[in-house]
Structure 1
Amino acid sequence: MKRISPRATSFAIAATLALAAAGAHAQGSVTLYGIVDAGIAVVHNAQDASGQNQSTLVKFSSGNLSGSRWGLRGSEDLGNGLAAIFQLENGFSVGTGVAGQGQREFGRKSIVGLASNTWGTLTLGRQYDPLVDLVQPLTQDGPFGGVFGTPGDLDNYDNSLRVSNSLKYTSPLISGLQFEALYGLGGVAGATGSGQTYSFGAGYTNGPLALAAGYFYANGGNTVTTGVRAWTSSSDSLFNTVINQGFASANSIQIVRAGGSYAIGAVSLGLAYSNTQYGSDGFSTFHQTAKFNNGSAFVNYQFNPALRAGVGYNYTSLTGPASAHYNQVNVGGDYALSKRTELYALAGWQKASGHTLNSKGQAIDAQASIGDFGVSSGTDTQALAVVGIRHKF
């Protein structure tokens, strides 16, 4: 007899619950939704298997505009403008079928909570922080994804980091103003601050103008293995590429982000800034706070309802235990075949200079790695091009 995997069983149960709940209109509603995004990428200057030589890489690439996912969201009307809500969202690779976010079942998001028309929304679980909710939509991450992002996603531009074991409050929209606050519990006996995360932010929208800013702090705890902090209590890790892997032993992450966008007819403009600081302690391989300052700008043009194109520039500087600079230029375009399906093309180029640190705290030449694409160049320049298709359901 063929054995059914636990993951397949979970999916079947979730789908059955969704269909059953959809028929129970008196109790509430459940929606099954998702995104499937995949393409082919060509990267000029990518490290080979030895980690030494620079080669041209041609690869299948999943989740270029949007991370591929499927999810369930639902609500139950409790009366007087109050509803019980939940959302479960799984991320996966189209090319391999493997679950993302550390192969978690619902690694992208898993929340339950209450939503009030008057008092706002309180959610508990694994979720996004206020900077992702409020600032990220004002950047190029929305239309063109992480390829346009900060090198190595070092400031969580492309939401590499999510917060587990957390509570989040989101205010109602009041005259265009909305604010959020989040706290992630560290869960360490006798040390409340170990592993904790907290964040807050605010956004304002008035016609074509949108502004947002926020603050994020996460403590990594004291569990360090081979120079890498565990980051298991409430926050994920951001140290996934050559850009900032030398600071993976940091005991804290602190991020300040602000952004704004303005629409003028078919043209939309945007500016964003972030300051990211990785703090050290006695377990760290570096001994001075690493400070990354990043500024970005973009211009998008909607040629017609189906065709859109954009260009972006991103500058990043590192100070503290090392000094490095990263200049990045991106272009992109997408064409809607329907309301749910689109074709896209993306390209990027980056130049790195100066020095950063490796995992042992030693100075090394800075290497390029475009946006959140996650491929190390092994040298100071990198270029890439991606074409693909995205379908929403």
Structure 2
Amino acid sequence: MKKSLIALAVVGAFTSSAFAEGSNVQLYGIIDLGVTHFTGLRPSSGTGTVSSTGLDSGGQSSSRIGLKGSEDLGGGLKAIFQAETGFCAAGTNQNTNGTGGNSNGYCSGGGFMQRTSIVGLTGGFGTVVAGRMNTPLWNDETAADPFGVGLTGNIDNISNVRFASVQRANQTVAYVSPDLMGFTGTAVYFFAPTSATVNLAQGGSTTRAWELNGAYKNGPMFATLDYLRITNINGLTANSSSGNADKHWQVTGGYDFGIAKVTGLYQDLKVDASSGKRTVWMLGASVPVGAGAVLASYGQVKDTISNPDTGNNTAKQYAIGYTYSLSKRTNLYTSYSHISNDTNTALAVGDSSTANLGVAGQSSSGFALGIRHKF
């Protein structure tokens, strides 16, 4: 208890001094808790069907807390920063097999302040930031998904972003252009985007990446185009190939008709080490109903990287949900989703904090009911 009070005192002292110096600092966060139910098979379950129910953190949005702010440097120039960490609001989540489920005890991000940790400058020239941050690829996917890459039916269950683990990246430097009549461009370079250890003593090559993104938003419509290239995928030791690359293409778009917002997404992933590719598409809709909205999506993935020339390599997902706003900061949510696999695909439903690992040829379904509060 004393440690908690000391921590709050430190935050209070930090924000007070920052405001006194003319800076703008904001403490923010999300607490999301919900009951989730999963029916299907997991790789560790053998031949028996799993039917599990538990209280999870991050059913719609990963629980988090962070600080962000800016300092006016004069002449239209500002210094900006953000530091954000995930936390497990339920203590632990029921799915301990999730890639982000209990990552170092923080539920998302991989560690303390590892969801986002950036500092930079912004002005008339645009914005330059450096640190650990979301990739534009993932940001665009999140905007196109009616479920916001949350709830049981989120697109990340089948997407190339989750498949290749490119939601966030380390050692990143990014430039975002000013808004030019609705158009913005982003260029990103990643010195070492993955967490893999590089054996430099043996002449290993560090994994590098770069990304270009164009986005257009004007009133009710938006469209994005993104290309991400990751090089030296296997260049961790002197004995491994350092020439392999992952190449990601993504197109997203949407239009808000008032009575419904319709969105779409297409992804293409090619890997030098494979003759195949992995394509994903999704159509989604958000329909305002009362104080909330009905959410729905249908998507497919065809994977010839993991299963080249074998056929029967498609997985299909459909999902439906509803969010109800109690206020501007608090909402209730529910969702149901189902994934069916061909004999050579192995995906499963999840949420923002669980892995999309299933059993080949087997279907799975998920249900969630919870509450989310933003502060």
Normalised by the shorter chain, which TM-score bucket? 0.7 to 0.9
Paired residues of 2:62 and 2:108 also in contact (CA < 8 A): no
The CA deviation at 1:150 is 3.9
SS in 1 for 2:153: helix
Q: Structure 2: which 5+ residue stretches go unaligned?
A: 93-104
Aligned CA distance change for structure 1 residues 332 and 163 (closer, same or farther; 3 Å): same
The CA deviation at 1:279 is 3.6
Corresponding residue for residue 338 of structure 1:
327
Corresponding residue for residue 362 of structure 2:
380
Match for residue 83 of structure 1 among 66, 78, 81: 78
Distance 2:253 2:52 in 1: 35
Match for residue 112 of structure 2 among 101, 105, 123: 105
Paired residues of 1:135 and 1:203 also in contact (CA < 8 A): no
Paired residues of 1:136 and 1:157 also in contact (CA < 8 A): no
Q: Structure 1: which 5+ residue stretches go unaligned?
A: 230-249, 281-287, 356-365
Corresponding residue for residue 269 of structure 2:
276
Aligned CA distance change for structure 1 residues 138 and 55 (closer, same or farther; 3 Å): closer
The CA deviation at 1:13 is 7.2
Distance 1:9 1:184 in 2: 38
Count of aligned residue pairs for this structure pair? 346
Aligned CA distance change for structure 1 residues 17 and 252 (closer, same or farther; 3 Å): farther
Distance 1:295 1:50 in 2: 29
Distance 1:387 1:127 in 2: 29
Counterpart of 1:194, as a letter, is T
What is the aligned-residue RMSD (CA, Å)?
A: 3.1
SS in 2 for 1:222: coil
The CA deviation at 1:151 is 3.0
SS in 2 for 1:37: strand
Distance 1:350 1:194 in 2: 36
Paired residues of 2:116 and 2:133 also in contact (CA < 8 A): yes
Counterpart of 1:126, as a letter, is R
Corresponding residue for residue 170 of structure 1:
176
Alignment of 1:241-252 (within 5 A): 252=245
TM-score between the two structures when normalised by the length of structure 2: 0.83
Alignment of 1:291-306 (within 5 A): 291-304=277-290, 306=291
Aligned CA distance change for structure 1 residues 302 and 154 (closer, same or farther; 3 Å): same
TM-score between the two structures when normalised by the length of structure 1: 0.79
Paired residues of 1:327 and 1:351 also in contact (CA < 8 A): yes
Corresponding residue for residue 69 of structure 1:
64
SS in 2 for 1:147: coil
Indicate the larger mover: 186-195 or 31-40. Answer: 186-195
Corresponding residue for residue 202 of structure 1:
214
Aligned CA distance change for structure 1 residues 145 and 259 (closer, same or farther; 3 Å): farther
Paired residues of 1:150 and 1:294 also in contact (CA < 8 A): no
* Residue deviations 1:155-208 (CA, integer Å, cap 9, x gap): 249986211111000111110000111101139769896311211101101211
| Residue 293 of structure 2 is aligned to residue 308 of structure 1 | yes
Corresponding residue for residue 137 of structure 2:
131
Corresponding residue for residue 213 of structure 1:
225
Aligned CA distance change for structure 1 residues 297 and 16 (closer, same or farther; 3 Å): same
